[in-house]
Structure 1
Amino acid sequence: MARIAWLNGDYLPLADARISPLDRGFLFADGIYEVTAVLDGRLVDSAAHLARLQRSAGEIGLCLPVTFDELEAIERELIRRNGLDQGTTYLQLTRGTAAERDFHADDDLAPTLFLYTQAKDIIGNPAARTGVAVVTTPDLRWARRDIKSVSLLAQVLAKQVAHDAGAFEAWLVEDGHVTEGSSSSALILTADGALVTRPNSHAILPGCTRAAVQVLAEQHGLRWEERLFTVEEALMAREAMLTSASNFVLPIISIDGHAIGDGRPGPVAERLRGVYIETARAQN
């Protein structure tokens, strides 16, 4: 079965989707994107992802060409047409296509909106059982990391560092403190039982999955702290974990080759992953 995408108002085979080489997303990375998990054929944390999309669009002066209801309807139809049970929907919005390459964009450009789906066994991911390794690398990104920009070169380079080291993810470091993962939020569990993550600011992307995990953590009696933490503190943590739409919650068993805790997935990470999945299924 051919995979179906949606581009500027039309459903069509993904292989047939065409965007102009003069699109500003291609020429200038002048656009934003959003990724939403799909579980049991239904969207997970959709309202939070749409709110973040709208915020990112507003921060770069873009208007969504369709309503939230229309966007969700498109995503659900793509899920149906692609027979998707588990995976993600991907949405990209750019400023559109101009007649010539020019840093200044005309005000009357029609934005480009593109959506498609990717299948992934999120529940059966073996990394949830084994845990994952992380390496640290300098944070080379621009100053507005709170915008989910399609400009991802620094993240691509960080992922390459992780791949070359045989790790799953790279944690980005600035002034000795962990900001976040190259495509995930970073959390540690301290010796005194606090679940620590960096506070939202221009320095990090506000994670939708992280926000949902915070609610669940507090409901289950965990102390949540938002503050900066160093690589050294992370190495001494009882547990470490990452959150993202495409992975939910994954335990981290090593950082830069140093075992975290006893080098096995920690019970808090496993518990949070379990209750997150239960809650997501109960809400759909």
Structure 2
Amino acid sequence: MAGVEDQKSMQSGAAEIYLNGRFLPLEEATIPVMDRGFLFGDGVYEVIPCYGGRLFRLEHHLQRLDNSLHAIRMQNPLTRPEWQALLDRLTAQLPGSDQSIYLQITRGSSGKRDHAIPPQISPTVFVMTQPAIYPDATTLATGIKAVTHQDNRWLRCDIKAITLLANVLLRSEAMDRGASEAILIRDGQATEGATSNLFIVQAGELITPPKSDHLLPGITRDLVLELAQQHGLPYREQAISEAMLHSADEIWVTSSTKEVMAVVMLDHQPVGNGKPGPIYARMAGFYGEYKALLQAGQPLS
């Protein structure tokens, strides 16, 4: 996959990204201004955590990538072994460390601006890794504030598309209102956060909205459900009404970067007693154990 020039760059210790078959320094990476990702947001992306140099649920992320590509009428430009080799090479630049891998695939450039999908076009593939920035211990211990907002995004939120302007504005409005996250309401039901999946706890039972076109099928979300099943924690996938959300004993949000985070204030009102709840504490422990096993290279159940 790599040429002589790429090998020399890697040996020199320069940080590299991957772009369209080449490994090169980030400052040397360029794309055409007619790229459809730049013009239309015509593309998809993934964010893959890497703990202790070990990729987090890579197969799950690549399957979601395939699903997103299929939904926008594209095929994956790389095979599973090619993805593995590419990601292994990039993560080797920060050996043994926690990292965050960002990959983006756009439809590419046809040389003109036209809404119609060109019949023959080569995709643009961009991948980079950087040191991970995960929630600090204080935030995990105290939780975050969230506000509700009408879900004004499009109807295919299950596609991990690069067209994130609505999410950017929703998150910015939440921050303007003194919160870290916006929990979105569509037709009277809570769907997910602007940048996360949603869980509530009601009478000791964990509840999360079922997968649909209105929310992203989160990798961390699925792991939380697996951990709940493994440890005998009652859970179900069910629509969460706005009333259920506001009366919940606990509220959590999950994502690759947030991991599992307790919401302790919603719309300026305390959730439960205003502190991370006991079910959250159990799940945070289960998640921490899973993460530690991955970092140590131990078998995962």
In the superposition, the TM-score normalised over structure 2's length comes to 0.90
Equivalent in 250, 266, 288 of residue 277 of structure 1: 288
CA 257–123 in structure 1, closer or farther in 2 if over 3 Å, else same: closer
The 2-side partners of 1:253 and 1:180 are apart by: 16
Where structure 1 has 5 or more consecutive residues not aligned to the other structure, the ranges are none
Contact 1:170 1:181 in 2 (8 A): yes
1:223 equivalent to 2:234? Answer: yes
2-structure distance, mates of 1:173, 1:260 = 17
**Same amino acid, percent of matched pairs:** 39
1:183-220 CA distances to partner (integer Å, 9 max, x unpaired)? 11010000x21111110011111111100110101121
Match runs of 1:4-15 below 5 Å: 4-15=16-27
Query: Root-mean-square deviation (CA), in Å?
Result: 1.6
Contact 2:252–2:263, Cα closer than 8 Å, also in 1: yes
Deviation at 1:271, TM superposition (A): 1.9
1:102 aligns with 2:124: no
Deviation at residue 20 of structure 1 after TM alignment: 1.3
Unaligned 5+ segments in structure 2 are 1-12
Distance in 2, matches of 1:47 and 1:241, equals 25
Give me the whole-angstrom Cα distance separating, in 1, the residues matched to 2:31 and 2:210.
Answer: 37
Partner Cα separation in structure 1 for residue 41 and residue 23 of structure 2: 24
For 1:276, give the aligned amino acid: Y
Q: Is the 8 A contact 1:132 1:250 kept in 2?
A: yes
Aligned equivalents of 1:148 and 1:265: distance in 2? 29
**2:240 aligns to what SS in structure 1?**
coil
Q: Deviations over 1:71-130 (max 9, x none)?
A: 122122111124571231011011111111111122220111101113224264532111
The TM-score normalised by the length of structure 1 is 0.95
Matched, 1:183 2:195: yes
1:1-284 superposed matches below 5 A: 3-83=15-95, 85-122=97-134, 124-190=136-202, 192-283=203-294, 284=297
Tell me, what secondary structure is at the counterpart of 2:217? coil
Compared CA separation, residues 162 and 84, structure 1 to 2 (3 A): farther
1:201-260 residue CA offsets vs partner (Å, 9 max, x unmatched): 111111111001101011212121111112332221111111111121011111111101
Amino acid at match of 1:13: P
Contact 2:204–2:279 (8 Å) recurs in 1: no
Q: Distance in 1 between matches of 2:172 and 2:95?
A: 32
Rounded Cα–Cα distance in structure 1 between residues aligned with 2:144 and 2:154: 27
Q: Is the 8 A contact 1:90 1:117 kept in 2?
A: yes
**2-structure distance, mates of 1:102, 1:72:** 34
How many residue pairs get aligned? The number is 283
Amino acid in the other structure paired with 1:186: L
Tell which deviates more after alignment, 118-127 or 258-267: 118-127
Q: CA deviation at 1:180?
A: 0.3
